[in-house]
Structure 1
Amino acid sequence: MPLRIKRMGVNAALWKEEQSAEIIHQLATLIHAGLTLSEGLELLAQQHPHRQWQALLRTLVHELEQGVPFSSALVSWPQVFPPLYQTMIRTGELTGKLADCCFELARQQKAQRQITVSVKRRCAIPPLF
């Protein structure tokens, strides 16, 4: 029986900054708990509810298994993991503190999101004069 490959549609709504930050935070937790980077990514892929994220995470695992550094693997996904992610992950790889750098990246992204929401909220309220 020939192998069939079904092309999946891409849902851009799934690639939100908060989802990327949450993945990085969960990955940091798993690495801190003693899992390898590949094991952590595979576990996240198994547990993620969206097939696109599952495919992306498994693609990253495959690249790691081919010897590609994690930071370099992220370069292929700039719409999901912008340059800041790549830089922070590279710093973690070079210093041997990948979990710490992932935690810090997730913290920074959460703080940035809170500032953005606050500014948008304030801009939406008309002045009372």
Structure 2
Amino acid sequence: RTRHGIGDGSDLGRIGLQQQFLMALLSEVKSQDLLGSPANSYKIAKSATKSLTTDSSLASLTSLAEFARSMNGVDPASMETIMLPVAYDKIDPNRVIASEPQSGQLWKAIRKDTTIPEEAKKSPATGG
């Protein structure tokens, strides 16, 4: 929940920090092979349920542990996090709206399971 201590203090900046945290967490979990065994997955799930509110389909320790084990084949080194390209709303500059054509290109690539064009990764609101 860091808002002003790191980054630019914006919600978009916080989202970027959350993405970095989750990638670092997944890398650490993989490096320690914490998802390789049902016992370890169960321990992680038990710990996670103390600090997370999960979707109803993951509401049991067993479901959460099974989900964690399903992530075992995911390689953080081959992952990329992408934020929906947004621009500041011209009517209310305190809001952001999907930026076109970038967001349309992103959704199209996701629907077709194709490589996301570099242009679709650029967000006018974040300058990146």
TM-score (norm 2): 0.30
Higher strand share: 2
TM-score (norm 1): 0.30
